[in-house]
Amino acid sequence: MDGLVIGGLTISASALRHNAALLRDLVGAERAAFVVKGNAYGHGLVAVARAIEPLAARLCVYTVDEALALRAGGVNAPILILGPIPPAALGDALASRAELSLWSTGEFARRVCASARKQQRVAAAHVKVNTDLNRLGFEPHELVDALEDLLRLPELRVAGIFSHLASAEELDSPYTMHQLGAFEHALARAAPLLDQRKVRPLRHIAASAAAMLWPETHLDMARFGIALYGLWPSHQTREAMNAAALGLRPALSFRSQIVAARTIAAGASVGYGGSFHAPRDMRIGVVPTGYADGIPRALSNRGAFAVNGALCPIVGRVAMNMTEIDLTAAPGARVGSAVTLIGTDANATISADDWAGWAGTINYEIVARLPSELRREYPDEDASTVAR
């Protein structure tokens, strides 16, 4: 069993760069921001950022810790923190030269300014507007008053004004037009104030789907997340953009090996709860990865892995650390044979979208929940990128 691979991810840096270049060309070099929150959607925060940094006008993260990790990893591109920042972490956030998101003019804004004064710097902030996604942000009618308050603060610079769309992955989406209209109306009302103060903030509302399907949402910046990784926001988006010859490449593959193989008799049960009974004598293989490794338990008796170029159905319940598969289609499989969980093996391909379909979820969740403990390798990255 020497050299046994329990399970690991391979991420193609060249695929990431290919996707980043396509998306940058779609909106323009100065408009392309890339979202690397959630451990770069499971692909590995620092390595992904290093791979695409030369193509990025800006990198977007969710937490202060992500911004700090990028700086510690040698990433120098502008960083925007999209999520809330604990007041105790403001000093670190500003020291990292990250831009902050603001949706309050109260105590938090005062703390931002106090932290900036201590460091003798000006904090750059992107002001968020709620256009009926109803999570974070000023209401559109509040924007002018909020900007007046924020522009009075000498330690704060309004670097951007942004919002977020709820249904942009739909080809026919009146709600997207409603949100864009609300945002543009709020910007128009704020324009005289911004002109008077000679402030030119970046306006942005588009993520991957909107940037592809709704060119009018490009504005000054688009935030590409799922598309950077070669995955599509929706089937509709994929159909529309494939017609436009936008050829994204999935960057991630997930592989393991068979650690045990056995023949079981017809009627024998497999796994916890006896949810599968062999319809005939059959050979099964044990793969040493399970839901602790990011395989949804919902793939039990539904999904498949690839072995020797053949799809091998999952039999029984996915366990915490093991999954069993039917080896009928791969008679030559043995202990040590490679198993492709996500990726291509000869004529067999399994995608994150396949997992999502089997599990009743979306591809975002599939990749973002791949544990950070899984080994990630970047075989086509330069020598400065260390597998992690």
What residues does each domain of the chain span?
A: 31-242, 252-377
Query: How far is the CA of 278 from the CAs of 284, 286, 306, 371, in angstroms?
Result: 10, 15, 20, 32
The DSSP bridge partners found for residue 310 are 307
How far is it, in rounded angstroms, from Cα 128 to Cα 154?
Answer: 20
How far is it, in rounded angstroms, from Cα 122 to Cα 157?
Answer: 7
pLDDT of residue 170: 84
pLDDT of residue 7: 79
CB 119 within 8 A of CB 100: no
pLDDT of residue 383: 36
Sequence-separated (6 or more) residues with CB below 8 Å from residue 272: 316, 317, 319
Which residue's entry shows tokens 């008077």?
A: 196
Catalytic sites, residue numbers? 37, 272
pLDDT of residue 190: 98
pLDDT of residue 239: 87
Intervals of the chain under pLDDT 50: 1-4, 383-388
pLDDT of residue 387: 36
pLDDT of residue 381: 67
Q: What is the pTM assigned to this prediction?
A: 0.94
**Which string of b and e fits 92-116 if b means at least 16 CB within 10 Å?**
bbbebebbbbbbbbeebbeebbebb
Sequence-separated (6 or more) residues with CB below 8 Å from residue 229: 16, 19, 40, 41, 43, 250, 251, 252, 367
* Nearest of 173, 344, 373 to residue 251 by alpha carbon: 344
Domain 252-377 annotated CATH 2.40.37.10: yes
Give the domain 31-242 fold.
TIM Barrel (3.20.20)
